[in-house]
Amino acid sequence: MSLIRTRFAPSPTGFLHIGGARTALFNWALTRKQGGAFVLRVEDTDLERSTRESEEAVLDGLRWLGIDWDEGPLRQTDNADRHKAVVEQLLSEGKAYRCVCTKEELEARRDADIKAGGKGIYDGRCREAAHGADCGDHTVRLRVDAEASLRWDDLVFGPSGQDASEIGDGIIRRTDGTPLYHLAVVVDDIDMQISHVIRGADHHSNTPFQLALYRALGAEPPTFGHVPLIVAESGRKLSKRKDPVSIQQFKADGFLPDAMVNWLVRLGWSHGDQEIFSRDEIVEHFGLDHVGRAGAQADLQKLEWLSQHYIKEASADALYEAVNPFIDAVAGRNVDRDANLDRTLDLLRERSNTLVEMAEKARFVLCDDIEIDAGAAKKHLRPVALEPLEALIPSLEALDEWSEASLEPAFEATCKALDDLKLGKLAQPVRVCVTGTGASPGIYETLEVVGQTRTIARLRAGVDVIKARIAEG
């Protein structure tokens, strides 16, 4: 299979969008599978919105996801001279012409045309006017041959396109002399010898005009593949305000990059019944032939499931690395890694959908002072629990070895001495005293990672809570 050249061309608008991330991932996967180069090109021609900071944010997002590129980042503004030269060239070849129609005139004529049942495309008024460079304020339009067929075989949608008569002569240079997006992408893609343009389906209807540009420039168009959009629950385009779309946000919410990648790649693409894909497996199996044509709704619950899956699978080193910042945040200090912390994290793997959850659930180990949840206290720190707790404390104090193995007989002996008390009647109050909540890993494991000193102290504090409650009546 011959080498391909692909590109991801984000506009640096502050953060990496999940739609863009998926487009990048598909480009990356295709390139890594077929062999070739994946190029990153920043479309920064919208100077109002483009900053180096937002460009960095986009690159960071890609790096975090593990999507690496072979060339770039190139910037579209760096090619500005080339874009201008191309417009001049088209002008001199008669493939483009100057148009002196003003915005207002254009708008009025389009409205009138639509009212009269027309399609509202440019009427070609300046097409044969042969305005020279001295015509004053003007735009430049591409002369689109009305007979031309602007069709292509899309890698995802199959036969696509329409006749030139449907699109009209589009503007390629503004009055202020700057080139438009369509001109810039086509020129850049030609210059960079991009062989496969994989992009969002929102560009599907833009493609015919771009095909006309390739034709005018005498260049062989690339192979196109349009990937359906990721849609919101409403079925509409994702909204930056209402929907979670920023990769940075997902990172901050404690999702593992492996989970993100797995989630994104399955949004629209499939490989039989397989759900879990490592990056290697994605590269091994990926292909545009199995990308669906309908828009895909972002399913956050599936992401959480994947996230937990990867948390469960992660190596101890990788897990610590990933959860470290979240743990520090909960502890309010730099937490050193030790065997007890690793043990704690292991206990929490199957109980955490995200790293944020994991860190929060580790609070009873990370912090010396814990707060007892009011609801849990009300339910479990009742007068009936006083005797069992008071009976347990001395036997725990007497333990020379503090481990699951030594804790279990101590609990059992206490229950037995209390007229065969059910373990739950003892374990739940203990759990609330020690963790502050009614849910935690197994009680022996929990106590083991909390440690003997802190366990005893928390049990005593719990006993005091119950006594206070009794005193209040």
Residues 210-269 touching RNA, rule: CB under 7 A, are 228-229, 231, 234-237, 266-268
Among 202, 387, 397, 464, binds RNA (CB under 7 A): 202
Peptide bond between residue 73 and the one before it cis (omega within 30 degrees of 0): yes
Does 206 engage in binding with RNA (CB under 7 A)?
yes
Task: Tell me, residue by residue from 158 to 187, as one string, x for binding to RNA by CB under 7 A and - for no binding.
Answer: x-x-x---x----x--xxx-x-xxx-x---
Q: Indicate which residues carry an active-site annotation.
A: 240
Say how many CA atoms lie within 13 Å of 346 toward its Cβ.
Answer: 11
Q: Give me the residue label for tokens 């030269």.
A: 85
Q: Please return the burial class of 380, using the count of CB atoms within 10 Å of its CB with bins 0-12, 13-18 and 19+.
A: buried
Q: Which is nearer to RNA, 92 or 301 (CB)?
A: 301
Q: Which residues of 396-426 are buried (b: 16+ CB within 10 A; e: fewer)?
A: beeeeebeeeebeebbeebbeeeeebeeeeb
Residues 331-360 touching RNA, rule: CB under 7 A, are 350-351
Residues 417-456 touching RNA, rule: CB under 7 A, are 422-424, 427-428, 431, 438-444
Among 88, 123, 299, 390, binds RNA (CB under 7 A): 299
Q: Please state the closest distance from residue 197 (CB atom) to RNA, in A.
A: 13
Give just the sign of the alpha carbon dihedral 421, 425, 431, 434. Answer: negative
Ramachandran sector of residue 154 (left: φ over 0; alpha: ψ -120 to 50; beta: rest): beta
Going by C-alpha positions, the residue among 267, 286, 287 that lies closest to residue 278 is 286
| d(C-alpha 62, C-alpha 58), whole Å | 6
DSSP assignment string, 3-15: -EEEEE----SSS
Residues 88-147 touching RNA, rule: CB under 7 A, are 101-103, 106, 110, 114, 117, 119-121, 137, 139
Q: Please state the closest distance from residue 333 (CB atom) to RNA, in A.
A: 26
Residues 1-20 touching RNA, rule: CB under 7 A, are 11
Q: Please state the closest distance from residue 294 (CB atom) to RNA, in A.
A: 3
Residues 31-60 touching RNA, rule: CB under 7 A, are 43, 45-46
Q: Please state the closest distance from residue 226 (CB atom) to RNA, in A.
A: 8
- Tokens matching residue 45: 């021609």
Does 81 engage in binding with RNA (CB under 7 A)?
no
Residues 356-415 touching RNA, rule: CB under 7 A, are none
Q: Which is nearer to RNA, 40 or 296 (CB)?
A: 296
